């Protein structure tokens, strides 16, 4: 039988302790592992937290502040208005109009919110649901498809206003942080206002107001739901959905936005159906780029003025509202008449030949060949670039492009054009590229060429100096050089009224007799245009018939210092050489300054400064500047009307100015300016001007209300041709312009001031009527030898030593008219100088 083993009694107590010592707790190892893992996680979290904190601090350290957003003032284009408040030009680095959120229609706001951020009014700057949705779509997106974004409108504001536009993760983090800050600082409407005014919508348009003008030529409150939806779809890709480049894609995008607006409840089902059926019709973009046709010279002069006043940045981005004096009807008339005159003069000089010769034309595909040709910049909008298809018959073809198709046209040159080009050695041949103008007579066109001669015209209000019209040259696209404001030219004999005014100021009467006789001083031999001498001649007739020697003797008597000071005071010149050739117009001035000087005479001796701008407002409507020719005196009595106080300075007495005006009335009625008075039944006064060698042709004159100055010449001075005086070239244009402009003014005479009386008297050239000051005797002369008058011409008076030797043969070097065979050259042949003497540096007639 079995029995239990005997107990062991050795060291029983130690054995029990050993058993207790080696007994291990349950799961101890697992606890150790879990502790280590927890510690590691904590360490990682701690390090990560520190890293995130350091990264966050680094990120926010470089973040821009949002302080500027609170006083948001974006770069806004400046606009130039005509006198009747029509926009004639826009000045902008970015095409943008700022519109407050209260003025933006609900349907425009809904179009952008429905498409870009439907939860805009619910989130706090970042939309978590949109982010999750974008992540899912990006994970399962097809290869090549663009990543889906989840930026809210607030984030877009942060990116557009404060950050760059890269796609790095760091930028997205900054964008989110800034969005949260923006939401804490601004209201939702303030954020939406910034967004809708700042967003780029293609075609150079920044903001919804500018885009509405560019694409539809409408104000925001005139947009339909369909048009608003189109704008709302542009932020995704203005280029891809450009209405002009891809109308089909634009309509698809618009329809998508309309459906989103319906989904968000912004529009009803009925409104959706109507909007989807609406055609999407853009207006011509060219209607909203740059100045209105014909106003470029005026607008550019205004732009230069603004830059001088405020600098380039404020001019182009300050949102200035510039109200000008430009009369659009006068401007259109001036442009039409000047271009017609330039073409008429140039046409008489002969046909200069084709623009280009195509050696071998493809009779079946000449249109493609023509489409590769570039039209000259000076070609007028109504002209067409054409190819001569048959030189003998004058058959030409041209193409016209529009947004839909390319059309081909054929026609034949009219009879006048055929005769014109055949008289030239450069007659047209098959394959020539020429310019033509389609005529009302179907199947007929006129042959055209860009004139080489240039011209300028300035018309302004006599009293205020407000410029009503300005023509600065044939084509602004061809050359931005403004011949009205920038070209320094010699005014010739149209300078003489200033000399006469200086004489009247020294109490010389209009009937004063001066000797019209020859003399020579040094190398200077002044003469009259007609190369004859009248002997004793009254001042009145000296001006009426533009007698050079009478003017010279008058200036010698009163002194060149008086003439110089008056010329500067009137604004004709900044400085003037005190030499007698200057009184014949051997000084340099601009058409604008000349008009100002004539206006000063017409205004009774008060200095009239030409002004293009009436007043300037800032973007908030505050007046920054106003013309100060007349100051408004605000009265304390509200029942009284404000009064105008004349701030103009006086250069000459009213009486002296009226004496000169009276003489100038006879100049234009019966003297050298008679070509300018035809069919004008209103008191007018004026003077012709022709510079040496017929290089410049002027006519300057005025009514009691309007002064106009016309000039013709070449940019590089050369003769216009023998006999091409101011009366012949410029006078008829002045007449046609003033005849139509003055039709809108009441008929009235120049105001006769106190201290003068009108009297008639007999001269060697018949009876004339002049104005005389009190104490002067009509028809009599005074003793000029008493006082400062020299009574004798010397070399020091004439300044002959300052006349260059090259001018020795001046006045007789008159080029012949065009050849009878219709041909001409650009450099006219010079005749041999006559022994009768020179006409003199400066004016001829």
Query: CA nearest 537: which of 514, 519, 508, 554?
Result: 514
Please enumerate in sequence order all residues whose Cβ is within 8 A of that of 435, keeping only pairs 6 or more positions apart, or say none: 355, 375, 376, 379, 383, 384, 385, 386, 447, 448, 449, 450
d(CA 596, CA 590): 10
Query: CA nearest 576: which of 566, 585, 587, 584?
Result: 587
- Cα-based distances in Å from 369 to 360, 362, 378, 396, 782: 10, 8, 21, 14, 77
HSE-CB for 757 with a 13 A CA cutoff? 8
Q: Is residue 144 left, alpha or beta, with left meaning phi > 0 and alpha meaning psi from -120 to 50? A: left
Establish whether 116 is a catalytic residue.
Answer: yes
HSE-CB for 764 with a 13 A CA cutoff? 15
What length is written for the chain?
A: 845
Measured at the CA of 411, the angle between CA 293 and CA 387, to 5 degrees, comes to 75
Of the residues 82, 114, 116, 653, which is catalytic? 116
Query: How many Cβ atoms are within 10 Å of 748's Cβ, its own excluded?
Result: 11
DSSP state of 713: E
Spacing of C-alpha 236 from chain mean position = 34
> Tokens 């229609």 label which residue?
105
* One-letter-per-residue 3-state SS of 792-814: CCCHHHHCHHHCCHHHCCCCCCC
Of the residues 210, 493, 627, 691, which is catalytic? 493
Measured at the CA of 663, the angle between CA 740 and CA 713, to 5 degrees, comes to 55
Question: Under a CB-based contact definition with an 8 Å cutoff, are residues 738 and 457 in contact?
Answer: no
Query: How many Cβ atoms are within 10 Å of 139's Cβ, its own excluded?
Result: 7
Establish whether 10 is a catalytic residue.
Answer: no
Question: For residues 500, 503, 504 and 507, what is the CA-based torsion angle, rounded to 10 degrees?
Answer: -160
Report, as residue numbers or ranges, the catalytic residues: 116, 493
């Amino acid at each position: 039988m079995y029995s239990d083993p005997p107990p062991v009694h050795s060291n029983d107590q130690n054995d029990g302790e050993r058993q207790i010592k080696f007994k291990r707790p349950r799961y101890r190892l697992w606890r150790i592992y879990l502790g280590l893992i927890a510690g590691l996680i904590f360490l990682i979290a701690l390090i990560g937290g520190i890293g995130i904190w350091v990264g966050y601090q680094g990120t926010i350290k470089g973040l821009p502040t949002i302080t500027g957003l609170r006083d948001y003032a974006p770069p806004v284009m400046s606009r130039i208005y005509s006198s009747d408040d029509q926009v004639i030009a826009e000045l902008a680095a970015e095409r943008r109009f700022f519109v407050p959120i209260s003025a933006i229609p609900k349907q425009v706001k809904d179009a952008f919110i429905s498409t870009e951020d439907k939860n805009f009014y619910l989130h706090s700057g970042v939309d978590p649901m949109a982010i999750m949705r974008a992540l899912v779509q990006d994970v399962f997106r097809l290869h090549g498809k663009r990543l889906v974004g989840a930026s809210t409108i607030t984030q877009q504001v942060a990116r557009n206003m404060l950050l760059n536009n890269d796609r790095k993760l760091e930028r997205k983090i900054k964008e989110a942080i800034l969005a949260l800050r923006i939401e804490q600082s601004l209201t939702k409407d303030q954020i939406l206002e910034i967004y809708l005014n700042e967003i780029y919508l293609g075609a150079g348009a920044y903001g919804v107001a500018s885009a509405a003008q560019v694409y539809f030529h409408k104000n925001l409150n005139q947009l339909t739901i369909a048009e608003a939806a189109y704008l709302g779809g542009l932020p995704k890709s203005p280029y891809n959905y450009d209405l002009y480049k891809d109308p089909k894609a634009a309509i698809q995008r618009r329809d998508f936005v309309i459906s989103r607006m319906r989904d968000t409840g912004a529009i009803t089902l009925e409104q959706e159906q109507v909007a989807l059926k609406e055609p999407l019709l853009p207006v011509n973009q060219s209607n909203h780029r740059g100045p209105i046709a014909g106003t470029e010279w005026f607008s550019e002069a205004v732009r230069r003025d603004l830059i001088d006043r405020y600098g380039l940045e404020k001019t182009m981005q300050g949102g200035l509202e510039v109200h000008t004096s430009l009369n659009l009807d006068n401007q259109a008339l001036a442009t039409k008449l000047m271009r017609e005159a330039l073409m008429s003069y140039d046409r008489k000089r002969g046909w200069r030949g084709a623009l280009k010769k195509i050696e071998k034309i493809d009779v079946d595909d000449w249109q493609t060949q023509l489409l590769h040709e570039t039209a000259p910049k000076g070609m007028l909008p109504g002209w067409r670039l054409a190819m001569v298809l048959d030189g003998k018959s004058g058959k030409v073809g041209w193409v016209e492009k529009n947004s839909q198709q390319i059309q081909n046209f054929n026609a034949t040159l009219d009879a006048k054009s055929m005769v014109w080009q055949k008289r030239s050695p450069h007659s047209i041949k098959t394959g020539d590229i020429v310019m033509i103008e389609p005529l009302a007579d179907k199947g007929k066109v006129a042959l055209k060429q860009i004139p080489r001669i240039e011209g300028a015209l300035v018309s302004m209000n006599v009293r205020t100096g407000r410029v009503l019209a300005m023509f600065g040259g044939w084509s602004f696209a061809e050359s931005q050089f403004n011949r009205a404001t920038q070209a320094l030219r010699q005014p010739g004999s149209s300078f003489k009224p200033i000399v006469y005014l200086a004489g009247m100021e020294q109490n010389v009467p209009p009937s004063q007799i001066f000797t019209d006789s020859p003399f020579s001083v040094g190398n200077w031999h002044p003469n009259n245009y007609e190369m004859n001498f009248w002997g004793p001649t009254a001042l009145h007739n000296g001006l009426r018939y533009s007698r050079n020697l009478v003017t010279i003797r008058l200036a010698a008597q009163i002194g060149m210092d008086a003439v110089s000071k008056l010329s500067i005071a009137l604004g004709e010149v900044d400085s003037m050489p005190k030499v007698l050739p200057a009184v014949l117009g051997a000084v340099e001035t601009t058409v604008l300054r000349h008009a100002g000087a004539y206006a000063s005479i017409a205004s009774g001796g008060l200095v009239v400064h030409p002004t293009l701008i009436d007043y300037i407002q800032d973007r908030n409507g505050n007046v920054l500047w106003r013309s100060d020719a007349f100051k408004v005196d605000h009265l304390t009595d509200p029942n009284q009307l404000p009064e105008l106080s004349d701030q103009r300075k006086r250069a000459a007495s009213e009486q002296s100015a009226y004496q000169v005006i009276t003489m100038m009335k006879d100049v234009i009625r019966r003297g050298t300016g008679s070509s300018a008075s035809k069919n004008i039944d209103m008191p007018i006064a004026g003077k012709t001007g022709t510079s040496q060698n017929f290089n410049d042709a002027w006519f300057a004159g005025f009514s009691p209300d309007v002064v106009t100055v016309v000039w013709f010449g070449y940019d590089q001075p050369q003769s216009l041709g023998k006999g091409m005086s101011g009366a012949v070239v410029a006078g008829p244009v002045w007449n046609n312009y003033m005849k139509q402009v003055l039709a809108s003014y009441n008929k009235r005479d120049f105001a006769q001031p106190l201290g003068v009386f009108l009297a008639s008297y007999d001269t060697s050239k018949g009876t004339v009527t002049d104005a005389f000051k009190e104490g002067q005797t009509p028809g009599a002369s005074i003793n000029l030898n008493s006082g400062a008058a020299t009574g004798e011409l010397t070399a020091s008076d004439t300044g002959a030593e300052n006349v260059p030797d090259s001018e020795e043969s001046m006045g007789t070097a008159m080029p012949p008219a065009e050849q009878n065979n219709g041909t001409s050259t650009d450099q006219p042949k010079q005749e041999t100088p006559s022994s009768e003497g020179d006409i003199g540096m400066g004016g001829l007639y």
